[in-house]
Amino acid sequence: MAPVKDILVIGAGELGDQVLRFLAKDPRRQEANVSVLLRPASIDSTSAEKKNKLDGFHKLGIQVVPADVVQDSEQDLAAIFSRYDTVISCMGFVSGKGTQVKLTQAVLSARTSRFIPWQFGVDYDIIGRGSAQDLFDEQLDVRDLLRAQKKTSWAIISTGMFTSFLFEPFFGVVDTKEGTVCALGSWENRVTLTTPEDIGRITAELVLTEAKENTFSNKPIFIGGDTISYGDLAELVEKVTGKSVKRSVLTVEAAQEALAKDPTNHLLKYQIVFGQGRGVAWNLTETWNIQKNIPLTTAAEWAATNLV
């Protein structure tokens, strides 16, 4: 496949920002152009934070492209995508239902050479259709579209959960202020974790070594910083904080009963999927990064930096 020349990253949130920075700073980028697609409202914002982010992109030589993936038509998006040989979607579920399929169809219409869709997460093939988290079905629709064609090469980067997400009190697992750890499903259940920084680093690695290593091989690539059980997580929190934690278990049945009473509660939908424990964890020895001798941030390393 031809060398990468024009890269477009869709979105510059927590993950997109890391992908952009690792791509822009990598010496192997050479003459490749890196661009980011942002909503016009974000580009024109008077917010100091957004202005600083745009200034940072300009300093890194990242070009800014205005478009709205929700409001713009598939044809309009395809016209933009056709200018790039590589498109990386970092636009997650916050964009609403239908957006993932729309972006994929636009990429395929544009006959883009390489595509990394927003699939940074669990193994949707193993979880299957009809899971508690109904947003996941669209991820399988995206995979069906990609597998049914041969014009665009693609790579799905399966990362597990963002490491920080597991430690956020709102997720209902770790709350250091309250001194609690709640296992989803059981203490033996495991979850694979990767930080956005590490995902950005590996994504840049996969894109910029593609010509040599054929990393866009039309299949999921599994990476991970750590795979940890909830039992080991409780011990880790105690070790890092120096305090005992109160342990509890949220069973799948209890979460399903709660969801029946509150059917739009996305947190419960995620908790059920992770509580069932299918497709949410994999052995690190089987990951692409370990096979390439690229260790990523472990849960213990993240906790030592962020929990104390």
Yes or no: say if 81 and 152 are a contact pair by the CB < 8 Å rule: no
Confidence at residue 86, expressed as pLDDT on a 0 to 100 scale: 96
Confidence at residue 209, expressed as pLDDT on a 0 to 100 scale: 87
User: Could you give the domains of the chain?
Assistant: 6-161+195-224+281-296 (3.40.50.720)
Pairing of strands 33-38, 174-175: unpaired
pTM across the whole model = 0.95
Confidence at residue 212, expressed as pLDDT on a 0 to 100 scale: 66
- CA dist 19 and 35 (Å) reads 11
Specify which residues 155 forms β-bridges with. Answer: 219
Q: Which of 262, 42, 306, 229 is nearest to 132 (CA)?
A: 262
Confidence at residue 177, expressed as pLDDT on a 0 to 100 scale: 95
pLDDT tens string, the chain, 308 residues long: the values are 677 899 999 999 999 999 999 999 998 888 899 999 999 999 998 899 999 999 999 999 999 999 999 999 999 999 999 999 999 999 988 877 899 999 999 999 999 999 999 999 999 999 999 999 999 999 999 999 999 999 999 999 999 999 999 999 999 999 999 999 999 999 999 999 999 999 999 999 999 987 667 789 999 999 999 999 999 999 999 999 999 999 999 999 999 999 999 999 999 999 999 999 999 999 999 999 999 999 999 999 999 999 97
- CA dist 234 and 182 (Å) reads 8
- CA dist 225 and 60 (Å) reads 27
- CA dist 123 and 115 (Å) reads 18
Three-class DSSP labels, the chain: CCCCCEEEEECCCHHHHHHHHHHHHCHHHCCCEEEEEECHHHHCCCCHHHHHHHHHHHHCCEEEEECCCCCCCHHHHHHHHCCCCEEEECCCHHHCCCHHHHHHHHHHHHCCCEEECCCCCCCHHHHCCCCCCCCHHHHHHHHHHHHCCCCCEEEEEECCEEHHHHHCHHHCCEECCCCEEEEECCCCCEEEEECHHHHHHHHHHHHHCHHHHCCCCCEEEECCCEEEEHHHHHHHHHHHHCCCCEEEEECHHHHHHHHHHCCCCHHHHHHHHHHHCCCCCCCHHHCHHHHCCCCCCCHHHHHHHHCC
The residues near 110 (Cβ < 8 Å, ≥ 6 apart) are 78, 79, 80, 81, 82, 87
